[in-house]
Amino acid sequence: MNDYNHYFHFQREEWRKLEVSKDQILTAEELEEIRGLNDRISLQDISEIYLPLIKLIAIQYHEAIFIHGEKMEYLKKKESRAPFIIALAGSVAVGKSTTARVFKLMLDRWFSKTRQVELVTTDGFLYPNKVLEERGIMDKKGFPESYDRDRFAKFLTDLKANKEDVEVPLYSHFTYDVLEETRMMHNPDIVIVEGINVLQADQHESLFPSDFFDFSVYMDANEADIKKWYLERFFMLRETAFQDESSYFHPYTKISKQEAETFALGVWDTINGVNLKENIEKTKYRADLVLHKGTDHLISDIYLRK
């Protein structure tokens, strides 16, 4: 089903009326620290879009805790509830990373840091570049086959099995590769899992990642807008992070602007755009909630599964 018939539709003005709190949960300085390079998110967005959403997530979290408690009491068991997992999906350059960081900071504040909130990106579950090159799929980086899906499935299984310590692989956008070191998560209450692939389903797998999620969000926008944002971000990085000689993309600071634009357009047209159409966009209707951005990079419409 490729429509929103099974969703409630809220335009921005309608959605913002769900939460009338006058308290500002983030400061301008905090928002600036977590905002992506060309993301236009503002404090107004925090109060009008994200605050109602965080309250909705909190309601679902408390409901899950209550149901688990009732179930354990009935079964006469003393098993603590597994982490509440929030999935955040969407295209490259649509603003997922900023939104994920906003979620974490706002959930920390909402629960007054009485709940341990963790953020994990699925970039860490990519195969290392060496493996991608050996398999001849370096130009498919970000496609389903470029991820270690067994490792990702084990990670989610460990979380839901209440494993005390769960290993999280790490990724560097600076070196454009998976890092050798990992980090450990210790008994988190809420885990935000952000990545282009989190809602993708492989018919050959016995488990889908979405089987483990308690709430899922898809960041949406028209492809033409996402492509424009991707190019904007590439050139902003070309003037900043790529200037470091250790950066994987440093060589693209040494060519002309026209050559750099040709390269970036080629990456979009042969990799990111293709992946969006063939894989990512198809997962949109698996999400519990869709945040749709307009051409100004601001959220205009919200769709909540009925």
pLDDT tens digits, 193-204: 999 989 987 655
What is the radius of gyration, based on Cα positions, of the chain?
A: 20
Rounded Cα gap, residues 114 and 133, in angstroms: 44
The token pair at 95 is 């603003």
The confidence score (pLDDT) of residue 282 equals 92
Question: Residue 56, Cβ neighbours under 10 Å: how many?
Answer: 17
- Cα three-residue angle 144-149-151, rounded to 5 degrees: 150
Task: Tell whether 80 is in a known binding site.
Answer: no
* 93 labelled binding-site residue: yes
Is the pLDDT at 149 greater than 80? The verdict is yes
193 is in an annotated binding site: no
How many beta carbons lie within 10 A of that of residue 16, not counting itself? 18
Whether the full predicted model's pTM is greater than 0.85, yes or no, is: yes
Residue with tokens 């460990």: 158
Instruction: Find, among 190, 188, 210, the residue nearest to 199 by Cα.
Output: 210
Q: Is 97 annotated as a binding residue?
A: yes
d(CA 210, CA 283): 10
Provide the 3-class DSSP secondary structure of residue 269. Answer: helix
Backbone angles phi, psi at 219, to 5 degrees: -90, 120
Residue 55 labeled ligand binder: no
What number is the average pLDDT over the span 220-241? 95
pLDDT digits (tens, 9 = 90+) for 57-84: 999 999 999 999 999 999 999 999 999 9
Task: Dig out the tokens for 304 from the structure.
Answer: 């909540």
- CA dist 104 and 113 (Å) reads 11
Q: Is 91 assigned a ligand-binding role in the annotation?
A: yes
What token pair was written down for 181?
């070191």
pLDDT score recorded for residue 197: 87
Q: Would you say 160 is a known binding-site residue?
A: no
Q: How far is CA 44 from CA 29, 47, 240, 250, in A?
A: 14, 5, 28, 36
Instruction: Give the pLDDT score at 24.
Output: 65
Residue 2 has pLDDT above 80, yes or no: no
Distances (CA, A) of 268 to 92, 129, 228: 10, 19, 10
**Measured torsion, CA atoms of residues 278, 7, 102, 113, in degrees rounded to the nearest 10:** -130
pLDDT higher than threshold 90 for residue 96: yes
**Annotated binding-site residue? 90:** yes
CA angle 129, 253, 263 (to 5 degrees): 65
